Each structure stands twice: as C-alpha cells, then as structure tokens.
Amino acid sequence: MPLPRQEVDATTPKYLRDKYAIVGVGETTYTRGSGRTTRALGTWAVRNAMLDAGLKPSDIDGMLSYQGGDSTSGTFISGDLGMRLNFYMDVMGGGSSTEALIGIAIGLIEAGCCKVVAIFRSMNGYSQVRIGGTGARSAAPIVGDILHNRAYGWQSAGQSFAPTFMRHMYDYGTKPEQVAMVKVAHSHHASNNPKAYYKKRFTVEDVLSSRFICKPLHLLDCCVETDNATAIIVTSAERARDCKQPLVLIRGVVGRCNKPRLDMHYQHGPISTVAGYYARQILWPNAGVGPEDIDITGSYDAFTFTTMLQLEDYGFCKKGDGGEYVSSGAIQLGGRRPNNTSGGHLCEGYTHGMNMVIENTRQLRHDADDSCPVGADGKRQHTYDYREGGCRQVKNVEVSANLGWANPSTASSMVMRRG
C-alpha cells in the first residue's frame, strides 16, 4: 500500500474560530552575548508579556515552553514570578513549536485545565548552544540511527534541508537571485525595527556574493544566531476583552503537521514539496479564510528558501512560482502581502518562530514598535513611510498567517485576525 497523499480531514467545530486570543506579547533584547542565564531571560520575557496584557502573576495559571536541552523549565520561570500554575509542560522542539503550543494552550483551556497560558522560548542561541550545530555538539559521538546522516557531514539545519532547496531549483527553475529577494525584503523591514539585531539593508548582489555555507545557501541566505527570550499569553476571547490591548483573535491553528516518513522524509516525494502542502488542508478550512484573504504573513525564515517554500505550498502562489512570488515585491512593506515585517530570523533575531507571532500580533493591534512618533494620546502615529529608519506598520491590516517550520517535513501554522 503506497504512503498516500490523501486529503486531510481535521476539521474543528467552527465555534473554535475567534474563541481564543493572544493578549500579551513580550521579549528581551536580541543580543549576542546576553550575559544572563536562560532563566533570567525567560523571566524577563514572560514578565514583559504579562505587563503587556495588563495581567498580574496570579492571573496566569498555565505555562508551556519548548527547547532542545538548551533552556530553563517553566518551573523556575513561574517560581521567579510568583505564579501558582494549574498546568505546565516543557516540550522538546524548535521551529514550528510556537503555533503548536498555541494549539495545545487552546486545548488545555477547552479541557478546563487552566485559564490563561504563558508560552515562552528562552535561549542563548549564540553564546551557549549554537543552533547551527557549531561548538561542543558538533563533535558529539554519533550513535545508531544518526549514523545515516551525521557520519556523512549531514548535520546542520542548512545541510539537512539543502536537498529540498536544490531540487526545487531543478524542478521549477527557481533562480538564486529570486530567492535572495527574501533577505532583501526582510532586511528592509529590519531597518525599520529598532530592536532588530541586524538593521542593515542588503541587496541581491550582497547575498549572492557572500560566501557559500552549503549550496544553495550563501552566508546571507542563513538566519542570525542570537541570545534572547520571547513570550506570548493565550486566553479565551471572553477573558481577553478585559485585557489591556486591542483584541487579536485566533481563527485556526495547525500544530506540527507532517509529510510521511519523519525518520527520513526524503524517502517520500516530491521532495520539493514541504509539509505546508498538508498543513494548508487543515489551516484554511478551520480558519474559514484562504490565502487571498491574508494581509500579512510570518513565513519562517531560518533560510531564505524556507520562507519561499512555505508561501508556495500554503497556496500564496501557484506551485513552482515561489521564486517569482518572493521577488515580485509582494512580500515587502508596501507590497500586496508583506512577510516578516520585523525582519524575522534573517535579521531581527532567532527565537524558533515566536518573534514572528509577536510581530503579527502587534501588526494586528496596529501598534508595530517602529520609530514613528507617539502622540499625545500615547498611541504611535504611523506614517506608512517605509524608508530606512521609518515606519513598518502595515496599513489597515486585518488578517495574518504565521507559517512555522521545523524542517521540510514538519509545519505548524496559525491565522489571526484583528478583533
């Protein structure tokens, strides 16, 4: 029996649409060399998210986090902030965990386990455990199943994903200069984000002339490694109405949806198709919207290619036209559907996807934290002038999509709307 590419049926009751909300978002500064423990960073970010929501420690009774043996459990973070939790769990996971844990938080609240859930990711991704695999982990003993990849020098994320990227170029004629436009767009966005680690604007030429890491990836096709923590707070829409910020509602969520053969997904083809192909069959029906309804995207940019592949497989363009889509101007501020308006992982900082959810939440509040002046009413007066150092708020944004990526075979996603 062949592994089927069957239609997915995971429809939720429609009453879950708009029933939950993101009420608080917070982060630390994005640095290289935080000089702090992941405990201190996590506490700082969760506290910021709590204050952003206008909540007290006693209002938060659920905590979720994700990590890869490189962080601090929620037990310490909640303890530091004096929270008594009715539920907590720390899961193994990197990219794609943010949306997945939001789905779990919704399930917990539906099940009556708790009422208000803080989700965080805290990492010294530059100064302690390098996500790219550099450092102590690069020389760890190779045991059992991982002989089939690490013994071949096939270990880092870039090395692991590269066959997908190369085959996409082969199958569809995707050009390096098209894909490089993802870095160009995100770097323009970051130049209008005072908290971005890299604020410099780059050109296609800059990307293509940077040194090769592993083909087809140049240095500037790869994201930055940083030290930081990020946090968001999920609760019911009903509870959210009492919180401080404009309402941002969750329309639908997909958590860690997969291609077949997670033990080695390349056994299943076409390898130039990624897990978004399956995830979109859950996302759009459950959210009750389609790609054409989305104003802004947060497509995970561990690499320039990951942004392109996901936008394509979620249906923002025809299959194979991803190179054309990302180089058309559509994903840039001022374009039809800007992607990663904070600068994303390529420029703002690397936090395994959570900063893209934070950014879209602020966009939907119409409160992107750019350099626009704050008026007498305390609200930022957005100019919609996207020149360097200027505004990064998207005008009249109503609906967003976040497309989380773990690897070519695992995807999470979420649609949010302004309440």
| Cα–Cα distance measured from residue 193 to residue 171, given in angstroms and rounded to the nearest whole number | 36
CB closer to other proteins out of 246 and 270: 270
CA angle 213, 218, 219 (to 5 degrees): 75
Among residues 3 and 10, whose Cβ is nearest to other proteins? Answer: 3
- Peptide bond connecting 270 to the previous residue in cis, omega within 30 degrees of 0: yes
* Neighbour count for residue 220 (Cβ, 10 Å): 23
Q: For residue 250, which of 63, 19, 23 has the smallest C-alpha distance? A: 19
Contact pick of 51, 58, 110, 145 for other proteins (by CB under 8 A): 145
Q: Enumerate residues 6+ apart whose C-beta is below 8 A from 357.
A: 22, 25, 98, 99, 102, 232, 298, 402, 414
Q: Smallest distance, Å, CB 222 to other proteins?
A: 10
Q: Which of residues 257-286 bind other proteins (CB under 8 A)?
A: 260-261, 263-264, 266-271
Under a CB-based contact definition with an 8 Å cutoff, are residues 319 and 285 in contact? Answer: no
Nearer to other proteins by Cβ, of 100 and 184: the residue is 184
Of 65, 72, 159, 341, the one binding other proteins (CB under 8 A) is 159
Residue 12 per-residue DSSP state: P
Peptide bond preceding 291: is omega within 30 degrees of 0, i.e. cis? no
66 catalytic? Reply is: no
| Contact with other proteins (CB under 8 A) among 92, 111, 143, 374 | 143
Instruction: Give the nearest distance from C-beta 219 to other proteins in angstroms.
Output: 8
Least distance between other proteins and beta carbon 242 (Å): 49
Tokens representing residue 329 in the block: 């101007």
Applying CB under 8 A, which of residues 17, 36, 121, 167 lies at the interface with other proteins? 167
Least Å distance, CB 304 to other proteins, is 14
Question: What does the alpha-carbon distance between residue 81 and residue 181 come to, in Å, rounded to a whole number?
Answer: 42
Neighbours of 102 (CB within 10 A): 27
State yes or no: is 350 an active-site residue.
Answer: yes
Q: Which of residues 176-215 bind other proteins (CB under 8 A)?
A: 176, 208, 211-215
Query: What is the residue type of 108?
Result: L
Q: By C-beta, is 1 or 374 nearer to other proteins? A: 1
Binding site for other proteins (CB under 8 A): 1-3, 5, 132-134, 138-139, 141-145, 147-156, 159, 162-164, 166-167, 169-170, 175-176, 208, 211-216, 260-261, 263-264, 266-271
Q: What are the catalytic residues?
A: 300, 350
